[in-house]
Amino acid sequence: MQEVEKIVSVCHKIYNKGYVSAFDGNVSVITHKNTVLFTRSGVCKGEITADDILEFDLKGLLIKGEGRITTEFKLHLFAYSRRPDVSAIVHCHPVYATAFSLVGEGLTDHYFPEVILTLGKVPLCEYGTPSTNDLPLSLEPYIEHSWAYLLQNHGAITLGRDLDDAYYKMEKLEHTAETIFKARMLGTPKTLSPDDISKLLKISEETYGIKVDPRNIY
């Protein structure tokens, strides 16, 4: 199955990039059969194989595969249930993005044009105890419009229209967090002005057909 090979490839990428360590993180994708492929619990993402991918229906019932499912599966099912435009999810613990979550700060100021157009604001979701419904419900205030989230004292999650989209959003998120962190070591980074942002959104829509949800900007 092509989706299985792709999810394995993404898992290897996030491990090699240092976005997860040991058995951290999970990745899922909705298949052409409208089922969900999900990484099993307790396996290093750098060593994951096709045998470590489980298949579920959209209610969370196991269809195929052997192994234990992480309770963070609830996080993925919640996002899929609320976002029909989402077909893949990546959850990691990238160092810089997670560091922002530890100090209680989302990435909501606008510094980079490309981040505005790909991620928009990255909100901080209130801490939710793993395995409880508090974790998926922490996304509730932002689930209708956000593509990336910082989970307080936990990590980060990105949504995508496909696996590549979800993965590259995670890559962009961590790169952004690291750049802001290092800029603050040098001084006070300058944000884009409201006028700069308005011009960018106008040009992106008229020239490239990219329309950004204003709830994810302002």
In this predicted model, what pLDDT tens digit does every residue of 145-189 receive, in sequence order?
999 999 999 999 999 999 999 999 999 999 999 999 999 999 999
User: What whole-number distance in Å separates Cα of residue 202 and Cα of residue 196?
Assistant: 10
Q: What pLDDT, on a 0 to 100 scale, did the predictor assign at position 195?
A: 96
- Tell me: pLDDT of 81 over 70: yes
Candidates 2.30.30.90, 3.40.225.10, 3.40.50.300, 3.40.80.10; CATH matching 2-216 = 3.40.225.10
20 close to 39: Cβ distance less than 8 angstroms? no
Q: What pLDDT, on a 0 to 100 scale, did the predictor assign at position 133?
A: 92
37 close to 99: Cβ distance less than 8 angstroms? no
User: What whole-number distance in Å separates Cα of residue 33 and Cα of residue 145?
Assistant: 26
Question: Comparing 81 with 131, which gets the higher pLDDT?
Answer: 81
Please give the mean pLDDT across all residues of the chain: 95
Note the pLDDT tens digit of each residue in 27-77.
999 999 999 999 999 999 999 999 999 999 988 889 999 888 888 999 999
Active-site annotation, residues: 72
Look at residue 114 and give its three-state secondary structure. Answer: helix
Q: What pLDDT, on a 0 to 100 scale, did the predictor assign at position 218?
A: 87
Q: What pLDDT, on a 0 to 100 scale, did the predictor assign at position 208?
A: 81
Note the pLDDT tens digit of each residue in 63-80.
999 888 888 999 999 999
Cα distances (angstroms) measured from residue 189 to each of 23, 43, 96, 119 = 35, 39, 16, 19
pTM: 0.95
Proportion of the chain above pLDDT 70, given as a percent: 100
Note the pLDDT tens digit of each residue in 94-138.
999 999 999 999 999 999 999 999 999 999 999 999 889 999 999
Q: What pLDDT, on a 0 to 100 scale, did the predictor assign at position 8?
A: 97
Q: What pLDDT, on a 0 to 100 scale, did the predictor assign at position 126?
A: 97
Q: What pLDDT, on a 0 to 100 scale, did the predictor assign at position 67?
A: 87
User: What whole-number distance in Å separates Cα of residue 157 and Cα of residue 10?
Assistant: 14
Q: What is the mean pLDDT of residues 80-105?
A: 97
